[in-house]
Structure 1
Amino acid sequence: MHVTRRKRGAPPATAPRLLQAVVTVVLRRRGVLLAVPLLYLSAIVFLAGKWGLDGASPAVVVGITAAFRRKPPPAPGSVYKSSQVFEKLWPMMEADSNHTNALMTAWRQNSGQKWQSCISKRVTSTGLPPSNGYLIIEANGGLNQQRISICDAVAVAGLLNATLVIPMFHLNSVWRDASKFGDIFDEDYFIESLKNHVRVVKVLPEDLLEKFDHNLSSITNMRTRAFSSKSYYLQKVLPTLLELGAVRIAPFSNRLAHTVVPRMQRLRCLANFEALRFSEPIRLLAQKMVDRMVMKGHALSGGKYVSVHLRFEEDMVAFSCCKYDGGIKEEAEMEKARERGWRGKFHRNGRVISAEANRRGGKCPLTPLEVGMMLRGMGFDNRTMLYVASGKIYNAKKYMAPLRQLFPLLETKETLASADELAPFKRHSSRLAALDYTMCLHSEVFVTTQGGNFPHFLMGHRRYLYGGHAKTIKPDKRKLVLFLDNPNIRWDRFKRQMQDMLRHSDAKGYGLRKPNDSLYNFPMPDCMCKQPNGQFD
């Protein structure tokens, strides 16, 4: 009789029966039903290890391998799917029968009180004592970073009883704008507005220049700490000022604490909201642009319009390390931009960057499409006048097309002003930003999409002008990416979620400054006074 011997290492024929018995026993105990998949897989692995895989079923081997190699699906909100969602929702957006434009009803919140400026009542002067010397500061960064430096310098000069020299602007490697103070701001108006509170001069007197060989870098540079207190300036800077007659602080960026004594806060208010106004060329063109925007929208909305600060320039997209739907080409362009701008910063040892985590965390710049979908969901229809404040949009032909489809009445600097009018502003990013700032300041609704100093100052300035309400949409991007993650979301549900966001922005429009907040963003109560029941003096 011929007997077939089992090959060494092959599993016995009873193995499948053993597995079946294990599963049957487990199924009888409902309390451990959820452990069935894990126990089954464990049994497979155990038997494979005991008898080897040489004689195992190919299906078993493939199943085990796939189970361990299968990549888990991305968490909700991790991947850019906004284009797919738009494709699904666009027919419903067009067919929406709701004819009430949110532009006319966006702001319903009533705090029960109105706020108004009272700087002139709070900032009083009984005459200035003799000056203790000259304060020279260097403002760096872009337009609004420079603005922080200027206003903080006014407060420090007031504290030290120093004469402030018109601030110098450092040529920033990112902004690359060689403009001086007088190119952006009205020097004479600035000096005149502060004359009863802080002395300001355009240049150092000749005798002091001779003392330092006409070289400002020879003047002692006091490298102050960030967010320094009043006592720091009195103890560290004032003695040197009294001894030498002049001190220099460079750089002077965020060198004063958010919370200081009331008199210094009021000087900050006076400098930012009253003394600083743009130079005449900027003011004249900006006012023309506002007038043209209002005129275009007069018949549709009484001249009201929405402004959007859109941060989707190439450097912003690259720095965010987020992924969109441009594929390999986009990834290569972003890698080149990162290396060009930051030289290996994103490849340092130990640095882990996750585009998926960035998107879920709300750190990715919104695309023009995402901004447009959000606004349409909030109730701003295609008759809304929309102004877009931005630099050069990355891959504008692709990314701006759907926003124009959603909002045909879209305007920019380039459409509201002629090429000849804009010519003096070209290659001067801060002057162009000043035009955008003015357009956004006077809009009925302002939309911020990525944070930064521009919306920080603008929201505060709008609160100062509009009775304490910022009239600003500041979306929760961590929630927004979840709604843009589902291509099957219904239009009515999407609208409901967007309108909830609008109501939340309305409720957050009023806000008092907290100890760690900046008064440039929250001017109440330092720069404004409340009037019960909306009654003003």
Structure 2
Amino acid sequence: MRGCNLGSRTLSLLRRLLIFAIGAITVVAILAGHFFPSSRPPGRAETARLEIELVHENYSRDGSKQFDAGRKFSKSGNLWILSPHRNTMPCLEQNSSYTPPSATRGYLVVHTNGGLNQMRMGISDMVAIARIINATLSKVAQCKKPKNLKTSFHTATSRMSLMKNTSSWSNQEYYTDEISQLWNSHQVIKAAKSDSRLANNNLSAEVQKLRCHAFFEALQFAPRIKAFGNLLVKRMRSHGRYIALHLRYEKDMLAFSGCTYGLSPEEADELTKIRESTPHWTVKDIDPLEQRAKGYCPLTPKEVGILLSAMGYPSNTPIYVAAGEIYGGQVHMADLQAHFPMLLNKEMLSSPEELKPFTSFASQMAALDYIVSVESDVFVPSYSGNMARAVAGHRRFLGHRKTISPDRKALVILFNKIERGKLREGKNLSKLITSIHRKRQGSPRKRRGPISGTRGKERFRSEEAFYENPLPDCICPMETPRKR
């Protein structure tokens, strides 16, 4: 019995010594990590990059994310909260005076041109124009011709078919009085272009509502594009609230606009040569400093970082970058990455196998960016191109979701002061930038008309685009329940 008791006490003592040894090793390891690091601890940007590199491995099949990076945000809720007076709703119902179209007088054949959103706007305009001139619309660029139209094309003579380049920003009278007369001698009218064929303003309510219905509701992405776009949204949301940044900083865009601020002399020279050698770009001699001072240039990645930081967004805010290939790559993205390390895009949010069906089609890749941008908590365009206008208008239509429209002309003045050392990033800059953009965050307002003093086509160009702000034509005040 004594032998058994002695063995038991010995075993108990050995167990305690083993536990103590494990605990001692753990403590030493922790202390060594704190007081004797083998190298410099990773900074904010390095940490985020390490997390981003793990993104592909950490998404489950349903799109949810397994780690919690980027979930802590500033307590300043107004960064994400929609401003008041957004109690609006889409209103596309026709009024009591609406009359359905009568028998068609012929076929309007549309040849779409431009990128994704330019085509979408053009098609929507042509839907309305077909209604005005009482035509059957056929988009032959990507759609098969209907059987009853095929015969017309095979037997079409110069008397029956006409290619017509309609005037830009035309009113209804132009189509009813001039274009409709072509039905007297032709059965098919082919529209050479589809973009900007209708005026932004002074059209009937029926026509404007039809444009909205076509653009915001009837035109839908293919099911597989929509499904994958929504999956990307889900993956972005797994990081928490996010900003979608439409960053226009591609080589062709910079070459066309003549915007070379922040580029090296070699890069500026390359862009100038591209512009001068492109025949259909008619403007060759551009002053880059004048372009930037007038607000005609996109914000650089560095300027976007300064803007969003000044507006109060914390550095761990997830940002979805909707863009093509950024000119200069990481060299020009470094400053934005320093402000906001959690920069993501569709390539980072998906595997090469998932993205492969879309990579050969620029419009499909743009469609994925469009979906993620429309569904974002905040949308910020660095430039007011077709994509920016379309997304901003769609967000207004869906309830005036928060969209920050940078005042590039005003911002350039501040950025120049920073460059000259007369202003620093901090509270003072934050107050100035926040004040400038207080009324530029997507609140409901009527569409802006032309700039005073402009004439001709410049007058129409100066107007706010219809699809960028369809209020009041397609957006109405939400009815509040009456008190009993």
- Shorter-chain TM-score bucket reads 0.7 to 0.9
Q: 2:331 aligned with 1:398, yes or no? A: yes
Q: 2:88 aligned with 1:151, yes or no? A: no
Q: In the TM superposition, what is the alpha-carbon distance from 1:326 to its structure 2 partner?
A: 3.8
AA partner of residue 439 (structure 2): H
Q: In the TM superposition, what is the alpha-carbon distance from 1:133 to its structure 2 partner?
A: 1.5
> Which string of whole-angstrom CA distances, capped at 9 and with x for unpartnered residues, describes residues 385-417 of structure 1?
110111100011201122222212211011112
CA distance in 2, matches of 1:249, 1:148: 15
CA distance in 1, matches of 2:258, 2:235: 38
Q: In the TM superposition, what is the alpha-carbon distance from 1:205 to its structure 2 partner?
A: 2.9
- CA distance change for structure 1 residues 454 and 343 in 2, over 3 Å: closer, same or farther? closer
Q: 2:222 aligned with 1:279, yes or no? A: yes
CA distance in 2, matches of 1:158, 1:211: 25
> Which string of whole-angstrom CA distances, capped at 9 and with x for unpartnered residues, describes residues 480-537 of structure 1?
122222235242211212222342323x6221134554331121221122125599xx
Out of 306, 314, 319, the residue aligned to residue 381 of structure 1 is 314
Q: Which runs of 5+ in 1 are unaligned?
A: 1-89, 91-97, 170-179, 183-200, 298-303
CA distance in 2, matches of 1:159, 1:99: 51
Contact map agreement 1:132 1:242 (CA 8 A) in 2? no
Contact map agreement 2:305 2:336 (CA 8 A) in 1? yes
| Aligned twin of 2:259 | 322
- CA distance change for structure 1 residues 99 and 159 in 2, over 3 Å: closer, same or farther? closer
Contact map agreement 2:82 2:401 (CA 8 A) in 1? no
Out of 164, 168, 172, the residue aligned to residue 140 of structure 2 is 168
SS of the equivalent of 2:132 reads helix
> Which string of whole-angstrom CA distances, capped at 9 and with x for unpartnered residues, describes residues 198-242 of structure 1?
xxx7565343233228xx998211222112222221222223225
CA distance in 2, matches of 1:472, 1:502: 11
CA distance in 2, matches of 1:344, 1:310: 22
SS of the equivalent of 1:484 reads helix
Q: In the TM superposition, what is the alpha-carbon distance from 1:376 to its structure 2 partner?
A: 0.9
AA partner of residue 322 (structure 1): C
Question: Mapping of 1:427-442 within 5 angstroms?
Answer: 427-442=360-375
| Aligned twin of 2:186 | 244
Q: 2:149 aligned with 1:205, yes or no? A: yes
Calculate the aligned-residue CA RMSD, in Å. Answer: 2.9
CA distance in 2, matches of 1:422, 1:479: 39
Q: 2:198 aligned with 1:256, yes or no? A: yes
Out of 459, 473, 476, the residue aligned to residue 526 of structure 1 is 473
CA distance in 2, matches of 1:389, 1:202: 36
Q: In the TM superposition, what is the alpha-carbon distance from 1:313 to its structure 2 partner?
A: 0.7
SS of the equivalent of 2:468 reads coil
Q: 2:112 aligned with 1:139, yes or no? A: yes
Question: Mapping of 1:40-119 within 5 angstroms?
Answer: 100=74, 105-107=79-81, 109-111=83-85, 114-119=87-92
Q: In the TM superposition, what is the alpha-carbon distance from 1:308 to its structure 2 partner?
A: 0.6
How many aligned residue pairs are there? 394
AA partner of residue 493 (structure 1): N
> Which string of whole-angstrom CA distances, capped at 9 and with x for unpartnered residues, describes residues 248-288 of structure 1?
11122212222311211111111111101111221111011
Contact map agreement 1:103 1:305 (CA 8 A) in 2? no
Larger Rg: 1
Contact map agreement 2:107 2:136 (CA 8 A) in 1? yes
- CA distance change for structure 1 residues 282 and 234 in 2, over 3 Å: closer, same or farther? same
Q: Which moved more, 1:447-456 or 1:517-526?
A: 517-526
SS of the equivalent of 2:467 reads coil
SS of the equivalent of 2:162 reads coil
| Aligned twin of 2:34 | none
AA partner of residue 432 (structure 2): Q
- CA distance change for structure 1 residues 496 and 318 in 2, over 3 Å: closer, same or farther? same
| Aligned twin of 1:509 | 443
CA distance in 2, matches of 1:181, 1:369: 42
- CA distance change for structure 1 residues 370 and 235 in 2, over 3 Å: closer, same or farther? same
AA partner of residue 134 (structure 2): N
- CA distance change for structure 1 residues 123 and 420 in 2, over 3 Å: closer, same or farther? farther
SS of the equivalent of 1:278 reads coil
SS of the equivalent of 1:284 reads helix
Q: 2:436 aligned with 1:489, yes or no? A: no
> Which string of whole-angstrom CA distances, capped at 9 and with x for unpartnered residues, describes residues 81-130 of structure 1?
xxxxxxxxx9xxxxxxx97355653445322x611112146599765532
Q: Which runs of 5+ in 2 are unaligned?
A: 1-44, 46-71, 450-462
Same amino acid, percent of matched pairs: 33
CA distance in 2, matches of 1:344, 1:245: 35
SS of the equivalent of 1:451 reads coil
